Structure 1
């Protein structure tokens, strides 16, 4: 139980690796493939010209090479000060906050690397408005946070210490270690009822000799899956697999002292803002989103990082985001075949479409955790969801043969103007070295490049990492 609990904590924490390393990754977080092009310039429109745009920093601080636990950033004593608090703020202005990191002995930090999450939220709960702040690390314990003021009314500042730099360093170090999660597969013979539970690996395991190895890897998909070969059964006898946290290697990688950095007060702790009172934002003559050009869907042209959430709707600062109602969704998907492939995020999308369109599944796929087909005969719409191939971090046993690589699915797709492909995979790769996800996406990119020439007009959407 202790090992399982430890791994549950670590699994939650390693999700931050994707956020911490997104800047290294050569992909947009969400892009429409047939519209993607290089080096788009910012669109000039009235909203952009009036906003004092914030340019997020490009350079990153080098983390301190040694773990100095007595100098770890302590949230209770870390200062958050609103600069120019008494000035008059209007919609479109930039609000600046200074963060000064201190350790448990109230000493100033002399190096950076802390992971802060900054948000601006509306004090009026009925608006349900929120926006992200841009954090600049000055690499000396000081941080500047800038907030774009997108809406009118009282706003409150929320700054959270997600991880101190020492914890970030541990996450990055552990993130490079392959095969730290424990996977198992069952090999069985239906006639003799013999079965063996063998350990499996998501990366190559040099310590496993060739004669003791069942290699299910597929180089064309950059997918690796290797299991210990059972004594009396062939590799083809594999039936089911699962993730088993009880056989993980995390305990051997993180010391008890290091684990303290992934607990309160160092984990996801809200900082006290000075002064606490909300800031009043007055109205100005900025154009409303309805008067902006329509968003094209391209992340750069649509200013994916410029805007805020209003309720459950994203309002871009540079273009008008179209919000579809139920009837418009039905008409948009009429005569379309939609392939949703990836992780549980894309499964939730399929479930939402199932209720909105609505879609009706046959008995063959209704209860399948990895593959579902929903159809609507009235609109001639078909939505097909499939989970990506291993590694899959699920405790329940799943049929190994039910999984297919996204590369194979794309290569088998005819495509065309009435075909839409949406891909999303990241959550089950957060505990893997970054190269595992990167190489998988490289292979998928190759499959997309093979698809588009033979099936022009196919719409391909790729989502990597979180969007909110």
Structure 2
């Protein structure tokens, strides 16, 4: 059973996430949660249950300049602390630094609007880059044990990881031992031990973690 062309186009648009229209070289060019603002469109003294409250979000950078592109991850909700009630609205990205939200009012009584910048568009692009990257960041140790050349029992520890893509994690020709999970099809690779065979793997443990973020990317996550 397939989906219609219209549904396919809708899914593609929903998955498309705009990014910066220029290379970000300075921290202050990223979206600021302090200087970004929101306003209620056509604010009234009272609303009826079932009405929508329209909100406009305006993104600014740390220099208070208006952002020219979208891609920020904002969340917006109505809430009432006494009732312990809240409802989120869909944030529509207009791809020019502004966003609109329609918040449905489902209860009687007070309601407050809350808007939070979860991630700037610059951070979203960093997350996207590393999500789509096949470069492994977490590594593991494979522990091999077995008889050595002189019949004494020896052990070796090598680096292991999941196999990413057709070329694997290590592009060194016949570099690795491979172990395939028959249920999931996942392939696990370990660098080939110098003295023992691939059949001598007994267990694995957590290994090193390679930091992938550059200095600017690290700062963007903390800004």
TM range (shorter): 0.7 to 0.9
Structure 2 match to 1:64: 20
- For the 8 Å contact 1:60–1:137, the answer to whether it is kept is no
1:91 and 2:55 correspond: no
Determine if the alignment matches structure 1 residue 187 to structure 2 residue 131.
no
In the TM superposition, what are the counterparts of 1:156-167 in structure 2 within 5 Å?
156-167=112-123
Q: Is the 8 A contact 1:61 1:139 kept in 2?
A: no
Give the Cα–Cα distance (whole angstroms) in 1 for the partners of residues 68 and 44 of structure 2.
30
How far is the alpha carbon of 1:219 from its aligned partner? Answer: 7.5
Contact 1:187 1:233 (C-alpha < 8 Å) held by counterparts = yes
Match of 1:111 in 2: 69
Answer whether contact 1:95 1:149 (CA < 8 A) is retained. Answer: yes
Q: Which runs of 4+ in 1 moved over 6 A?
A: 36-39
Question: What pairs with 1:54-453 in structure 2 (closer than 5 Å)?
Answer: 58=14, 60-68=16-24, 69=26, 70-124=28-82, 127-178=83-134, 179-189=136-146, 193-202=153-162, 203=164, 204-210=168-174, 212-218=175-181, 221-244=184-207, 247-250=208-211, 253-263=212-222, 266=223
1:258 match: secondary structure: helix
Give the number of aligned pairs: 205
Question: Structure 2 vs 1, CA of residues 196 and 153 (structure 1 numbering), >3 Å: closer, same or farther?
Answer: farther
Larger of the two Rg values belongs to structure:
2
* TM-score, length-scaled by structure 2: 0.80
Structure 1: runs of 5 or more not aligned: 1-35, 40-56, 267-468
Change (3 A) 1:170 1:227: same
Contact 2:58 2:98 in 1 (8 A): yes
Structure 2, gaps ≥5 residues long = 5-12
Larger strand proportion, structure 1 or 2? 2
Residues in 2 aligned to 1:240 and 1:175: alpha-carbon distance in whole angstroms: 28
